[in-house]
């Protein structure tokens, strides 16, 4: 029995900032102080506050240390673990009240408004120990399903809960299962889409890393509901920690016979295998994903037939996203009503968002549906750094769109986001401030889709390429208003004619920025000016002769020797030589350099 548990985050974010070394140092220091019998060191999944990693939480007092370094370990052990004195300087500053006392983590702005269902075990349990998952009620839902419920009961429960697909589409999960159950076949399959490809989204990775058994349990429940005995998890090879923990989890579940034949003494048998994706964005599309599992090149195919009729290996198949699965055991245990009591009329439960971009608390948050964008960004996310003004939030990655400041108070759910020209997507939320150029953002996402288009259908392969060319012209100030019309026309054409979701949604970033920021596009075209000062071809750095003191600092820092001038006399930038790196502006102490 341990009197204290030290939790060290082993998610990808904290691992890359050195949490493994911290854990080793901690174990060594604990042994040195003869505390091995009293204190247990637990590696957990992601806590969400990735910006503050590596993160360490010490229980039972729930002290939250952030940005811990190996050098801090002896102090933490000697002071906190031995003498019970909190190492104040390492505390997450939000947990320290103005009076100097420490408040609970759940009372901080970041966690207060969150409601964790999919992430409930992330950062709490050791994902590599199945007993810890069982200790928090794990596999209880599977047991309940196999001993007390019929497959129809399970499907009805999901239908009543109102759970919709968390991968982006928002299709009702219960309905998907119902359709697959109706189709008789000698073999059916349950697949998990863990090919998380949206730039900036990492909730699926965090669930797999922090609570892999929740996904396994839910897949077994799905197998029982639709009558499948085999499951596949399609996970990208770029997620090595997630792959490793999934392997461990599957082996442990097999050892305990929670996967395998006659689970819980019933006549239900189910097993799960992993399939690694090589990192093509299109393989996150359901038909392409299944083609890839079959061993073929990951290309989509037309629907119908839908996977519920003819999916993997031509058999009825359901495919759900990681986050969707992570909700299911909780819905079974607590009932459909419990889940349906959260969220908005048509979007129930919670959604995980990956906050990124110009925001203080970058990381992972899980909020009830219907929370406003303002609450997410200003309260949970801690607002925008450096006193800059909010311009737009990008949701849904390359398939989504921008939400401008005028919709700051919109409650986030599937239908609201679609009505304003964006989409939920897998939950990436990138915040942009006044220094971001919307044309440049649209171009960034187009570059991504051009790169990732599989090339099977012409609208997507050729169309997105032409779109990117026009966008590039705009950012260089070479486009005409006719180009802008052509761009818009292309958008609708590609949307209507592409084979799969990738192409059908690829124009969204352009359409939504055109809808809300057309003036920026026009400024680039008509005035040859980038209002945010991002597009390099359209801006020049200049020195205000009245403010320049002739300190020579800019000239000395210019990497291309483009600045000339003598001491105590105003300097001048040679526009032909200037590479627009901005180094001079950063160094100038008198604010004499400006962008035009």
Partner 1 sequence: MKSLEELRAIREKMQSQVSMRAEDHNHTRVVVGMATCGIASGARPVLTKLSTLVQEKNLTDKISVTQTGCIGLCQYEPIVEVMEPGKQKITYIKMTPEKAEEVLEKHLIGGHIVEEYTLSGADIK
Q: Which two tokens stand for residue 217?
A: 């349990």
How many residues are listed for the chain in this entry?
596
In terms of Cα–Cα distance, which of 354, 371, 339, 486 is closest to 429?
354
The CA distance from 82 to 393, in Å, is 46
> Residue 145 and residue 410: Cα distance in Å, rounded?
38
Judged by CB under 8 A, the residue of 139, 232, 234, 281 near partner 1 is: 139
Q: Measured from the CB atom, is 61 or 527 closer to partner 1?
A: 61
User: In this chain, which stretch among 90-98, 101-109, 213-221, 478-486 interacts with partner 1, using CB under 8 A?
Assistant: 101-109
Residue 389 tokens read as: 């003004």
* Inter-CA distances, 421 with 66, 404, 418, 460, 500, Å: 38, 11, 5, 20, 19
Minimum distance, C-beta of residue 338 to partner 1, in the bound complex (Å):
19
> Do you find a cis peptide bond into 54, omega within 30 degrees of 0?
yes
Q: How far is the CB of 468 from partner 1 (least distance, A)?
A: 49
334 vs 549, beta carbon nearer partner 1: 334
Pick out residues in 140-159 that bind partner 1 (CB under 8 A): 140, 143, 147
- State the number of binding residues for partner 1 (CB under 8 A): 40
User: Does position 216 bind partner 1 by CB under 8 A?
Assistant: no
Closest approach of partner 1 to the CB of residue 250, in Å: 15
Residues 28-87 that bind partner 1 (CB under 8 A): 37-38, 57, 59-62, 82-85
Give the residue with the Cβ less far from partner 1, 108 or 350.
Answer: 108
Residue with tokens 């600045």: 563
In the region spanning residues 240 to 299, those forming contacts with partner 1, defined by CB under 8 A, are: 256-258, 262-265
Output 57 or 442, the one with its CB closest to partner 1.
57
The nearest distance, CB 40 to partner 1, in angstroms, is 8
Interaction of residue 224 with partner 1, rule CB under 8 A:
no
CA–CA distance, 370 with 164 (Å, rounded to integer): 14
Q: Which is nearer to partner 1, 131 or 519 (CB)?
A: 131
Least Å distance, CB 398 to partner 1, is 38
End-to-end CA distance of the chain: 66
Peptide bond into 170 cis (omega under 30): no
d(CA 1, CA 40): 9
Q: Is 104 in the site for partner 1 (CB under 8 A)?
A: yes
C-beta of 517: minimal distance to partner 1 in Å?
43
Q: Among 18, 74, 137, 199, which residue interacts with partner 1 (rule: CB under 8 A)?
A: 137
Distance CA 258, CA 264 (A): 7
Instruction: Please give the helix or strand (H or E) that residue 474 lies within, else none.
Output: helix 458-475
CB closer to partner 1 out of 52 and 258 = 258
Judge whether 217 and 141 are in contact, CB under 8 Å: yes
What residues make contact with partner 1 under the rule CB under 8 A?
1-5, 7, 37-38, 57, 59-62, 82-85, 104-106, 124-125, 131-132, 134-140, 143, 147, 256-258, 262-265
């Amino acid at each position: 029995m341990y009197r204290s548990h030290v939790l060290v985050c082993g998610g990808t974010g904290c691992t890359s900032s050195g949490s493994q070394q911290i854990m080793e140092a901690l174990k060594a220091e604990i042994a040195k102080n003869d505390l091995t019998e009293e204190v247990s060191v637990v590696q957990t999944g992601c806590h969400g506050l990735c910006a503050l990693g590596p993160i360490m939480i010490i229980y039972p007092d729930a002290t939250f240390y952030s940005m811990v370094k190996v050098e801090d370990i002896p102090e933490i052990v000697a002071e906190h673990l031995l003498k019970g004195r909190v190492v104040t300087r390492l505390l997450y500053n939000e947990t320290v009240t103005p009076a100097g006392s420490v408040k609970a983590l759940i009372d901080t702005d970041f966690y207060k408004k969150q409601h964790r269902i999919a992430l409930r075990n992330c950062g709490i349990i050791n994902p590599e120990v199945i007993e810890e998952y069982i200790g928090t009620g794990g596999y209880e839902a599977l047991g309940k399903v196999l001993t007390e419920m019929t497959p129809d009961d399970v499907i009805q429960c999901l239908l009543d809960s109102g759970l919709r697909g968390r991968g982006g589409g928002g299709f009702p999960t219960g309905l998907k299962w119902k359709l697959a159950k109706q189709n008789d076949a000698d073999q059916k399959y349950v697949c998990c889409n863990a090919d998380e490809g949206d730039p900036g989204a990492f909730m699926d990775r965090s669930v797999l890393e922090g609570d892999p058994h929740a996904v396994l349990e839910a897949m077994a429940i799905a197998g029982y509901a639709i009558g499948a005995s085999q499951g596949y998890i399609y996970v990208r090879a770029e997620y090595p920690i997630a792959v490793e923990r999934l392997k461990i989890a599957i082996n442990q579940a097999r050892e305990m016979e929670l996967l395998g034949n006659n689970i819980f003494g019933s006549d239900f048998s189910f097993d799960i295998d992993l399939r690694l994706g090589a990192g093509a964005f299109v393989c996150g599309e359901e038909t392409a994903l299944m083609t890839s599992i079959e061993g073929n090149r990951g290309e989509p195919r037309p629907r119908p037939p839908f996977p519920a009729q003819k999916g993997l290996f031509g058999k009825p198949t359901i495919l759900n996203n990681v986050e969707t699965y992570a909700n299911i055991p909780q819905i079974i245990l607590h009932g459909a009503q419990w889940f349906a009591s959260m969220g908005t009329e048509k979007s129930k439960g919670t959604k995980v968002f990956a906050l990124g971009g110009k925001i203080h608390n970058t990381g992972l948050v899980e909020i009830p549906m219907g929370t406003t964008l303002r609450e997410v960004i200003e309260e949970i996310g801690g607002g925008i750094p450096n006193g800059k003004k909010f311009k737009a939030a990008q949701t849904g990655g390359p398939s989504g769109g921008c939400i401008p400041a005028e919709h700051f108070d919109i409650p986030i759910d599937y239908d609201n986001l679609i009505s304003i020209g964006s989409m939920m997507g897998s939950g990436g939320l990138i915040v942009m401030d006044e220094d971001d150029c919307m044309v440049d953002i649209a171009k960034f996402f187009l570059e991504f889709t051009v790169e990732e288009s599989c090339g099977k259908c012409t609208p997507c392969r050729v169309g997105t390429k032409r779109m990117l060319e026009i966008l590039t012209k705009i950012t260089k100030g070479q486009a005409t208003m006719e180009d802008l019309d052509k761009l818009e026309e292309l958008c609708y054409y590609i949307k209507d004619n592409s084979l799969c979701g990738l192409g059908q949604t690829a124009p969204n970033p352009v359409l939504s920025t055109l809808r809300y920021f057309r003036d920026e596009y026009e400024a680039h075209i008509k005035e040859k000016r980038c209002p945010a000062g991002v597009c390099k071809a359209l801006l020049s750095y200049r020195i205000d002769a009245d403010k320049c003191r002739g300190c020579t600092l800019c000239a000395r820092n210019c990497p291309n020797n483009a600045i000339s001038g003598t001491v105590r006399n105003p300097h001048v930038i040679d526009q032909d030589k200037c590479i627009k790196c901005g180094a001079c502006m950063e160094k100038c102490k008198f604010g004499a350099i400006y962008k035009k």
